A and B are shown apart, each in its own frame.
Chain A
Amino acid sequence: MSSTVPPAPSAVNAATVEAARRRRARMQEEERRLKLARQLVTPEGAAIRLKLATAAERAGAFLIDVAIQWAIVIATGLGLGFVMRAMDPGSANIASALWLVFFFFVRNFYYIFFELGTKAATPGKRALGIRVTSRNGGRLTANSVLARNFIREIEVGLPFQFLMMGGDQVTGWMALLGLVWSGVFLLFPIFNRDKMRVGDLIAGTWVIKNPKTKLMGDISSSTGSVAHGRYAFTPKQAEAYGIHELHVLEDVLRQSTQEVKAQVALRIRQKIGWHMQPGETDTAFLEAYYATLRRRLEQRMMLGDRKTDKFDVR
């Protein structure tokens, strides 16, 4: 690539190279994100974009759930131990027997109970904003939920058992071999495109992100017509950036502090050659520029011309 670039003063060259490097990094990041996006076409024919949960999110949700399970088991165990001191041996035996059965159900049916609910997610999954859904877009059946959770026995139970085996040399090697073999099931989600566990594969499900986005005010509306006359940008100024920069600007206006806004405003003024007018605030300038840029880009988009970023000059 460097051979096609004509020789230029080294300072300019370094800046362009840096900009190009950052752009490439950004595009790679976007591509990585797109890899986890799946399309669901509803019966109405509209496409809804679903994002798969990453392996890290799945693991995090699982750890939270395991912690909750242990908390339930330990709390009831302690409570029972306290109550049992007051009982005669016979009923104490019955109580501990019932607790054993309870333990089995907490171990195996905790996930099933929550995933059968309307939210199709365990507390851990809810905390991380993910949920279980059927892979073909149909409804999540009870059988799928059962299948995906009964399979957990080989994904988590089996490696754990091999880990506990240990002992002398021979059994030690056997345990290691078993651990490697069962590790394949445990690490299965990392090695497939859809981040499916073995249980997901058997049940025909996958786990997607379920973000709850709040609808915020439209930035372009707040500038209103008052500011319109004041900030008259030339067409060339309105063309300086692309969609990516527009979205960054939107994030800055919605979330950033005053200092960041001041810096961004400074950069934009420099780039488009805007002279600051008396009484002009950074926020007002940015909002006005946002509205202008968005109007310009939306017009172009409606004509089928998406300007992806500031490097996209056609």
Chain B
Amino acid sequence: MSDLLKSYRFREERESDWRKLDLILTRAENSGVRALSDEDMTALPRLYRQAVSSLSVARSISLDQNVIAYLESLCTRAYFFVYGARTSIGERMMDFLRRDWPACVSSATGPTLLAALFLFGGWALAFFLCMQDMEWFWTFHGQNFWDGRNPDASVEYLRSTIYTDEGEISDGQLTSFASFLFNNNAQISLFAFALGFAFGIPTAWLLLYNGVMMGSLHAVFWNKGLGYEFTGWLMIHGTTELFAIVLAGAAGFVIGGAVAFPGQMTRLNSARHAGQKAASIAMGCVIMLIIAALLEGFGRQLINSDAIRYTVALSILGLWCAYFYLPRRAGPV
């Protein structure tokens, strides 16, 4: 035996354990943690530690590159498995809804206010400009926008666009319209989040632009004496939808702020911290927009009474605020 290499004897003594670990990992990677038996789970930490120490020893005594490459990949896989996440998707989702999301939103009140300022600032600007001189509407929109809902339209026509007559609607149209709007809004809000990376400037512009669009349209209806009715029509889903867009903008500002003003941290670290928080907020926006689309597709067209519209809108807004901003008991971490 003496003429066998030291490194070979080293390998021979440990090889069966390496292969055992390899087998466990392969099984876990292919069919999940549940596929592992209790013995596997108890053996895993020992086998992992042994593989890691084998790797350090092999690096200093063996020149067999296959063994070293094998151990490197084995240890990497084992490391990611041993220190990887163990929670199931369901648990994560519950955690997100119960704690993560509201916590992230309530810790970003500053950016939220800023985003709201841009959106509603643009809104107010366009509204007052248009109220003074309707020519501004054409400047903002160009021709043929919002299928005839413009300053030249008659009051009756405008009224017909915000109330639905009995028997006029078919379910199919409602859903397809709602899903189209959801697609559009969700894509825009993800966009607002992503654009935050460019120091938040494009995000601000996007919010301002959307505010101007809505503000000028608002002015058209207001001018024809339909202000109260239009607000109700808009608010029933708008409280949720606009809140979501404001939050998406806030997520963009969180990132933009962290990249532009990292403070004590390095720029990379600051971006990472902000990114985690902002991503939660953006994910939440998608959920809010799904709810908004449901309200829009069904609620808005089926409820034609102004009073009920306002009640629904304000109670939903109240629910969102309570969900996000009411202090909650610190749960077990």
Which residues of chain A have a CB within 8 Å of any CB of chain B?
Answer: 40, 42-44, 46-50, 89-94, 96-98, 100-101, 103-104, 108, 116, 118-120, 131, 133, 135, 138-144, 146-147, 150-155, 157-158, 185, 198, 201-204, 210-216, 218-221, 225, 228, 243, 246-247, 250, 254, 291, 294-295, 297-298, 301-302
Q: Tell which of B7, B49, B64, B283 has the most Cβ of chain A within 10 Å.
A: B64
Name the residue of chain A whose CB is nearest to the CB of B48: A44
Residues of chain A contacted by B175 (CB below 8 angstroms): 93-94, 97-98
Name the residue of chain A whose CB is nearest to the CB of B56: A46
Instruction: Assess the B172–A100 pair: CB atoms within 8 A.
Output: no
Stretch at the interface among B116-124, B129-137, B268-276, B305-313: B268-276
Q: Which of B36-75 contact A (CB under 8 A)?
A: 49, 52-53, 55-56, 60-67, 69-70, 72-73, 75
Stretch at the interface among B81-89, B142-150, B154-162, B238-246: B81-89
Q: Which of B257-296 contact A (CB under 8 A)?
A: 268, 271-272, 274-280, 282-283, 286
Given the contacts A202-B255, A301-B60, A94 and B176 also touching, CB distance less than 8 Å: yes
Q: Tell which of B4, B63, B198 has the most Cβ of chain A within 10 Å.
A: B63
Residues of chain B contacted by A219 (CB below 8 angstroms): 64
* Complex-state Cα separation, A203 to B280, whole angstroms: 11
* Complex-state Cα separation, A216 to B8, whole angstroms: 12
Stretch at the interface among B185-193, B219-227, B325-333: B185-193
Residues of chain A contacted by B22 (CB below 8 angstroms): 215
Residues of chain A contacted by B65 (CB below 8 angstroms): 247, 250
0/1 interface trace, chain B 13-52, chain A, CB 8 Å (1 if under) = 0010011001000001100110000000000000001001
Closest Cβ–Cβ distance, residue B281 to chain A (whole Å): 10
* Complex-state Cα separation, A16 to B186, whole angstroms: 66
* Complex-state Cα separation, A294 to B63, whole angstroms: 7
Q: Tell which of A50, A92, A220 has the most Cβ of chain B within 10 Å.
A: A220
Residues of chain B contacted by A225 (CB below 8 angstroms): 3
Name the residue of chain A whose CB is nearest to the CB of B177: A97
The reply to whether the CB of B99 lies closer than 8 angstroms to some CB of chain A is: no
* Complex-state Cα separation, A98 to B180, whole angstroms: 10
Given the contacts A97-B179, A104-B187, A139-B85, A146 and B279 also touching, CB distance less than 8 Å: yes
The reply to whether the CB of B205 lies closer than 8 angstroms to some CB of chain A is: no
Closest Cβ–Cβ distance, residue A137 to chain B (whole Å): 8
The reply to whether the CB of B182 lies closer than 8 angstroms to some CB of chain A is: yes
Instruction: Assess the B279–A154 pair: CB atoms within 8 A.
Output: no
The reply to whether the CB of B171 lies closer than 8 angstroms to some CB of chain A is: yes
Name the residue of chain A whose CB is nearest to the CB of B86: A139
Contact of B171 among A90, A119, A150, A220 (CB under 8 A): A90
Residues of chain A contacted by B29 (CB below 8 angstroms): 118-119
Residues of chain A contacted by B180 (CB below 8 angstroms): 97, 100
Residues of chain B contacted by A150 (CB below 8 angstroms): 190, 193-194, 279, 282-283
Given the contacts A101-B182, A143-B276, A218 and B8 also touching, CB distance less than 8 Å: yes
Residues of chain B contacted by A133 (CB below 8 angstroms): 80
Given the contacts A44-B49, A142-B96, A215-B19, A204 and B64 also touching, CB distance less than 8 Å: no
The reply to whether the CB of B164 lies closer than 8 angstroms to some CB of chain A is: no
- 12 cross-chain CB contacts under 8 A: A90-B170, A97-B179, A98-B175, A104-B187, A135-B272, A143-B280, A154-B191, A203-B272, A204-B272, A215-B18, A225-B3, A298-B5
Instruction: Assess the B179–A202 pair: CB atoms within 8 A.
Output: no
Instruction: Assess the B53–A201 pair: CB atoms within 8 A.
Output: no
Instruction: Assess the B56–A153 pair: CB atoms within 8 A.
Output: no
* Complex-state Cα separation, A203 to B69, whole angstroms: 29
Instruction: Assess the A104–B272 pair: CB atoms within 8 A.
Output: no
The reply to whether the CB of B183 lies closer than 8 angstroms to some CB of chain A is: yes
The reply to whether the CB of B107 lies closer than 8 angstroms to some CB of chain A is: no
Instruction: Assess the B63–A215 pair: CB atoms within 8 A.
Output: no
- 6 closest residue pairs by CB, A with B: A93-B172, A204-B272, A147-B279, A202-B275, A97-B179, A146-B279
The reply to whether the CB of B139 lies closer than 8 angstroms to some CB of chain A is: no
* Complex-state Cα separation, A221 to B160, whole angstroms: 89
Instruction: Assess the B191–A157 pair: CB atoms within 8 A.
Output: yes
Instruction: Assess the B75–A250 pair: CB atoms within 8 A.
Output: no
Closest Cβ–Cβ distance, residue B70 to chain A (whole Å): 4
The reply to whether the CB of B178 lies closer than 8 angstroms to some CB of chain A is: yes
Instruction: Assess the B70–A94 pair: CB atoms within 8 A.
Output: no
Residues of chain A contacted by B195 (CB below 8 angstroms): 154, 158
Known: A97-B176, A97-B178, A140-B85. 19 other contacts (CB 8 A): A44-B49, A46-B75, A48-B72, A89-B172, A94-B172, A94-B175, A94-B176, A118-B28, A118-B29, A133-B80, A146-B280, A147-B278, A152-B194, A153-B193, A215-B22, A218-B64, A291-B5, A294-B63, A298-B63
Q: Tell which of B171, B176, B183 has the most Cβ of chain A within 10 Å.
A: B176
